[in-house]
Amino acid sequence: MKPIKIVHLYPERMSIYGDYGNIIALRQRMNWRGIENIVENIEVGSKIPNDADLIFIGGGQDKGQVIVSEDLASKADQIKQFVESGGALLAVCGGYQLLGEYFISNDYGRLKGIGLFNIVSKATSSRMIGNIVVQSDIFGKLVGFENHSGSTEYVGRAQPLGSVIKGFGNNPTDKQEGIIYKNAIGTYLHGSFLPKNPKVCDWLIGKAIAKSGQSIKLKPLSDLLEKRARSSSISRP
Amino acid sequence: MRSLLAILAAKAAFRINRLTGTGGTSLPGMVAQKIDKDILKKLVKNNFPRGVIVVTGTNGKTTTTKLIADVLESNGISYVYNRTGSNMERGLITSVALESNITGRVSADVGLFEVDEAYMPKVCRAIQPNVILVSNLFRDQLDRFGELDKIARSFRSLIEELEATQLVLNADDPLVASLGYELESEKKVTYFGVGDYSGPKLEHDRTADSIFDPFTQEKLYYTQHYFSHLGKYRGKGGAFRRPKPDYQANNLRQKGIESIQFNINRSDDLVELKIPGIFNVYNAMGAFSAVKASLNLEDDQITKAIAGSTAAFGRSEVLNYFGREALILLIKNPTGLNQIIQTYLLSENDRLLVFIINDSYADGRDISWLWDSALEDLAHYKGKILVGGSRADDMALRLKYAGKKDVLAETNEAELLKLITKHTSKRSKLFILPTYTAMLSIRSQIVAGDELQKEYWQ
Partner-chain contact A226 B397, CB within 8 Å: yes
Contacts with B150 from chain A: Cβ below 8 Å = 61
Report yes or no: B418 and B436 within 8 Å, Cβ to Cβ.
no
CB A59 within 8 A of CB A17: yes
Nearest to B143 among A12, A147, A192 (CB): A147
Interface check B365 vs A, CB under 8 A: yes
A chain contacts of residue B178, beta-carbon cutoff 8 Å: none
Q: How many whole angstroms from its chain centre is CA B11?
A: 27
| Rounded Cα gap, residues A79 and A186, in angstroms | 14
Q: Which of B287, B296, B311 is nearest to B71 (CA)?
A: B287
Of the partner residues A18, A196, A236, the one whose CB lies closest to the CB of residue B359: A236
Nearest to A225 among B146, B400, B411 (CB): B400
Question: How many contiguous H segments (helices) and E segments (strands) does chain B have?
Answer: 15, 17
Alpha helices in A60-160 (DSSP H): 62-84, 94-98
Q: Does B458 touch chain A (CB under 8 A)?
A: no
Contact residues for B433 (Cβ-Cβ < 8 A; gap 6+): B329, B330, B331, B337, B340, B353, B354, B355, B356
User: Is B400 an 8 Å CB contact of chain A?
Assistant: yes
DSSP B262: E
Residue B148, pLDDT score: 85
* Whole-number pLDDT of residue B17: 78
Phi-psi region of B260 (alpha: psi -120 to 50; beta: other; left: phi over 0): beta
How far, in Å, are A45, A84, A181, A212, B114 from residue A79 at the CA level? 15, 9, 13, 16, 47
Count of Cβ atoms closer than 10 Å to residue B15 Cβ: 11
CB-based contact (8 Å) between B355 and chain A?
Answer: no
Is the CB of B225 inside 8 Å of chain A's CB atoms? no
CA atoms of A15 and A60, how far apart (whole Å) = 6
Please indicate whether, in this complex, the C-beta atoms of B371 and A21 are within 8 angstroms of each other.
Answer: yes
Q: Is the distance from CB of B132 to CB of B289 less than 8 angstroms?
A: no
Q: Which of A8, A148, A190, A201 is catalytic?
A: A190
pLDDT of residue B458: 45
| Contact at CB, B393 and A225, closer than 8 angstroms | yes
Residue A124 · residue A145 · CB < 8 Å: no
Q: What is the pTM of this model?
A: 0.94
CA–CA distance, A73 with A198 (Å, rounded to integer): 32
Contact B371 A232 (CB under 8 A): no
Q: In what order do the strands lie in the sheet with B315-321?
A: B315-321, B324-329, B429-434, B352-356, B385-388, B408-410
What's the pLDDT tens digit per position in A161-210? Answer: 999 999 999 999 999 999 999 999 999 999 999 999 999 999 999 999 99
**Residue A201 annotated among the catalytic residues of the structure:** no
Q: Which domains, from first to last, does chain B contain?
A: 2-193+275-303 (3.40.1190.10), 315-457 (3.90.190.20)
Look at B217 and A61; give whichever has higher pLDDT.
Answer: B217
- Cβ pair B366:A190 closer than 8 A: yes
CB of A25 less than 8 A from some CB of B: yes
Interface with A, mutate which of B216, B365, B394 (most A CBs under 10 A): B394
User: If phi over 0 gives left and psi between -120 and 50 gives alpha, with beta otherwise, what is residue B60?
Assistant: left
Residue B196: predicted pLDDT: 93
Give the closest-approach CA distance of A61 to chain B in angstroms.
6
Helices B61-74 & B299-308 angle (0-180, nearest 10)? 120
What is the span of the domain harbouring residue A111?
A: 4-235
Cβ contact, residue pair A21, B367, below 8 Å? no
Active-site residue flag, A8: no
Domain count, chain A: 1
Beta-carbon-side half-sphere exposure of residue A198 (alpha carbons within 13 Å) = 18
Of B258, B261, B257, the residue nearest B272 (C-alpha): B261
Using the Cβ of B148 and the Cβ atoms of chain A, whether some distance falls under 8 Å is answered with: yes
Higher pLDDT, B17 or A223: A223
Nearest Cα residue in chain B from A224: B397
* Cβ-based neighbours of B228, under 8 Å, separated by 6 or more: B136, B138, B205, B207, B208, B209, B335, B338
Taking alpha carbons only, the member of A126, A78, A89 closest to residue A7 is A89
Specify the pLDDT at position B432.
98
Cα dist. A34→A206, B159, B239, B376 in Å? 14, 55, 49, 19
Residues B377 and B411: beta-carbon distance below 8 Å: no
Cα B435 from Cα B329, distance rounded (Å): 9
CA B426/CA B98 separation, integer angstroms = 41
**Neighboring chain A residues of B404 at a CB cutoff of 8 Å:** none
Contact B371/A at CB under 8 A: yes
The residue-averaged pLDDT of A130-138 equals 97
Query: What residues of chain B lie within 8 A of the CB of A233, using their CB?
Result: 394
Cβ–Cβ below 8 Å for A145 and B411: no
Other CB atoms within a 10 A radius of the CB of residue A47 amount to 9
Burial B261-289 (b: 16+ CB within 10 A, else e): bbbbeeeeeebebebbbbbbbbbbbbbbb
Q: Does B404 touch chain A (CB under 8 A)?
A: no
Provide the pLDDT for residue A93.
95
Decide if A227 touches B, using CB distance below 8 A: no
A95/A69 Cα distance (integer angstroms): 10
Question: Choosing from A8, A93, A148, A201, which is the catalytic residue?
Answer: A93
Residue A216's pLDDT band (boundaries 50, 70, 90)? very high
pLDDT in tens, chain B (458 residues): 788 889 988 888 888 877 776 656 788 898 899 999 999 999 998 899 999 999 999 999 999 999 999 999 999 999 999 887 788 888 899 999 999 998 889 999 999 999 999 999 999 999 999 999 999 999 887 666 667 888 999 999 999 999 899 999 999 999 999 999 988 888 899 999 999 998 889 999 999 888 999 999 899 999 999 999 999 999 998 789 999 999 999 999 999 999 999 999 999 999 999 999 999 999 999 999 999 999 999 999 999 999 999 888 888 889 999 899 999 999 999 999 999 999 999 999 999 999 999 999 889 899 999 999 999 999 999 999 999 999 999 999 999 999 998 999 999 999 999 999 999 999 999 999 999 999 999 999 998 877 776 665 54
Q: How far is CA A16 from CA A94, A129, A147, A171, B373, in A?
A: 10, 15, 11, 21, 12
Q: Residues of B with CB below 8 A from A16's CB?
A: 139, 142, 147, 209
Nearest by Cα to B126 from B30, B37, B188: B37
Q: Residue A201 sits in a domain of what CATH number? A: 3.40.50.880
ipTM for the whole complex: 0.97
Check A16 against B217: CB less than 8 A apart: no
Cβ atoms A179, A91 nearer than 8 A? no
- Chain centroid to Cα A233, Å, comes to 19
* Distance in Å from the first CA to the final CA of chain B: 51
The DSSP 8-state label assigned to residue A160 in this structure reads -
Distance from the A149 Cα atom to the nearest Cα atom in chain B, whole angstroms: 10
For chain A, positions 111-150, list CB contacts with chain B under 8 A: 127, 129-131, 145, 147
Contact (CB<8Å) A18/B372? yes
Shortest distance between the Cα of B97 and any Cα of chain A, in A, equals 34
Q: What is the SS3 assignment for B7?
A: helix
Q: What is the pLDDT, as a whole number, of residue B199?
A: 87
How far is Cα B240 from Cα B232, in angstroms, rounded to an integer?
12
Q: How far apart are the first and last CA of chain A?
A: 45
Pairing assessment for the beta strands A184-187 and A88-92 based on DSSP bridges: parallel
Give the gap in angstroms from C-alpha B278 to the nearest C-alpha of chain A: 24
Helix and strand totals (H; E) in chain A: 6, 12
Q: A92 with A57: CB under 8 angstroms? A: yes
